[in-house]
Structure 1
Amino acid sequence: MDSELATVLRVWRDRTTPEQVGLPVNGPRRVSGLRREELAMLAGVSMEYVTRLEQGRAEAPSASVLTALARALQLDDDEQAHLFTLAGHAAPGRTRVLRQVPASVRRLTEQLGANPVAVADAGWGLLLWNEPWAALFGDLSAARGRRRNVAWRRFADGARGGITHLDEDAFERGLVADLRTALGRYPDDEELRSMVGDLRASSPRFAALWQQNRVGVHRGSRKTIDHPQVGRLTVDCDVLTADRGDLKVIVYTAPAGSEAAGKLDLLRVLGRQDLTGDRTR
């Protein structure tokens, strides 16, 4: 791994204080910045992996790990782009999907923090999510690759995870039309093209919808979720598209004063405790 990547990670960790990221400071510290174990916790990786990265002994991290590190270190857009470049991920061009989350979009998710919020790339690969989202759907930190992709989980895994949509057919049609639009917009993105090809081969439902040649942008739906802690609730899912890179900001809400809103409030208190599996499919 490039030694410069190891160096900048150490420098950025040293400059990031616990106060900046909302961590408590209990007693005197030998360093003013984050400890390795604190960065690991914030980024959802092991401390051993952070150590290997900073010592130049680890393989180059994936785009999802880089995004998590950038979020934990509160990097701005230029710093995040530099981080991706050092790790061997070329800055996405016009014909490839952006898999970085700009600082401005990260700030937006933080400001919407009372609601479950996630960010996906143009091909529906989940890049980040907040605590209310993890409490509602389960934490995907341990998931890798396509296991974080909404379309793959829907059509290839074949499970619903306790989620039903007000109109299942419209949801699936909209998702496939959105993927076709993304592939047309980013024709050189091998990861997206490969996933679509594998979905066409493995899912008769996806293949049938793909053959309809529909294009469009999926903007949201209503979902009913059977949650193991708070029971059944119905929420509105709105998909906002960021101008830069067609990133999708996915926000879940319920009418003020409704039973569902009360259950979302309860989940914010309960957090992710005692959750069994995820319900994102």
Structure 2
Amino acid sequence: MERQEFGAAVRQLRESTTPAAVGLSVGRRRVPGLRREELGDLAGMSADYVRRLEQGRSHPSAGVVNAIARALRIGRADYERLCALAGYAAADGQVPDDVGPGAMRLLERFTDTPMFVSDAAMNLIAVNSAFLALGHWKLTGDPWDWNVAWRTFCDPFDGFKQSVADATDHESILVARLRGALLRYPADTSLAALVDELRSRSRMFDTLWRTPRPVTAYESSAAFVHPDGESVTLVGSLLAIPGDDLAALMLTAAPGSHDAARLAELVEGAGEPAIIRVGRPGPG
């Protein structure tokens, strides 16, 4: 079954890749996409072998998967899918942390909505000024200052309050995302060290790691207590950005509510909208 699925994925990628995208002349063609012969030439294999792969009659080596990925110039998500279908880990095994164009568009277009973008290991890599206006994210100098899981299980915020039910959903999401990230990026030593430290420092995290709760919702509510003493209750909704293996968290208030009015005051007080790179030396 996996061979059939791998073959179908290769064929779909081949047929959806334009010749111009891989440096070939377009010419006159009966069908869009690349011919098997063209993929074979680009990947250094015969057209007959490409045919056998697509028909599920041959199991690819890791080198073949990488050659096809390079030939088709596919993105990270498609590459990881091919690796998974072929039974291999992605070659470099490192969590990507580049803020791609999709994430930037979200940050640029929702300037009045507190938002952050995180990588697969739940490290914040970019936030907008509306998010910082909430005033709850205090830095302590810890290496994992900008990691959501670490701040939740090992170094919780004073200005972040949740009900038991919302905290349960929040914790379940974090553990599930870290488990998935460790499977996709087994060679990322920083990710492995984070998980080891979380399991050592937090009994709750270790329990959830060994016996995960099912994720019932990818959103939860929380009260953000501003340094001025007032709080605003917001719902955080997690949105996947699969092409770059990133996620965006958007924090919203109920329309017309006191919380919406309070949020508008905080955002207005933050000044001109801005996008801030975080989680690395010299943010900005």
TM-score (norm. length: structure 1): 0.58
**One-letter amino acid matched to 1:240:** L
SS of 1:136's partner is: coil
- Per-residue deviation, 1:137: 3.5
Question: Which deviations, in whole Å up to 9, do the C-alpha atoms of 1:119-170 show, x marking residues without a partner?
Answer: 000111000101110011356689674111011111122x332212232223
| Residues 124, 217 of structure 1: alpha-carbon distance in 2 compared, 3 angstrom cutoff | farther
Query: Contact 2:237/2:251 (CA < 8 Å) preserved in 1?
Result: yes
Partner of 1:57: none
Partner of 1:83: none
Cα distance in 1, alignment partners of residues 127 and 139 from structure 2: 10
| Residues 119, 227 of structure 1: alpha-carbon distance in 2 compared, 3 angstrom cutoff | same
Cα distance in 1, alignment partners of residues 270 and 141 from structure 2: 19
- The answer to whether residue 129 in structure 2 is matched with residue 150 in structure 1 is no
SS of 1:146's partner is: coil
Partner of 1:112: 110
- Per-residue deviation, 1:204: 1.1
| Residues 202, 144 of structure 1: alpha-carbon distance in 2 compared, 3 angstrom cutoff | closer
Partner of 2:13: none
- Per-residue deviation, 1:256: 1.6
1:161 pairs with 136, 158, 166, which one? 158
**One-letter amino acid matched to 1:184:** L
Partner of 2:242: 243
Give unpaired runs (5+ residues) of structure 1: 1-76, 78-91, 273-281
| Residues 129, 234 of structure 1: alpha-carbon distance in 2 compared, 3 angstrom cutoff | same
Partner of 2:127: 129
- Per-residue deviation, 1:268: 1.3
SS of 1:222's partner is: strand
- Per-residue deviation, 1:195: 0.3
Give unpaired runs (5+ residues) of structure 2: 1-74, 76-89, 272-284
Identity of aligned residues (%): 31
- Quote the RMSD (CA, aligned, Å): 2.6
**One-letter amino acid matched to 1:202:** R
**One-letter amino acid matched to 1:98:** P
Cα distance in 2, alignment partners of residues 242 and 177 from structure 1: 16
Query: Contact 1:180/1:215 (CA < 8 Å) preserved in 2?
Result: no
TM-score (norm. length: structure 2): 0.58
Cα distance in 2, alignment partners of residues 93 and 234 from structure 1: 42
Question: Which deviations, in whole Å up to 9, do the C-alpha atoms of 1:216-250 show, x marking residues without a partner?
Answer: 69722111122223612211101101012320111
Cα distance in 1, alignment partners of residues 208 and 256 from structure 2: 38
Cα distance in 1, alignment partners of residues 116 and 138 from structure 2: 11
Query: Contact 2:116/2:124 (CA < 8 Å) preserved in 1?
Result: yes
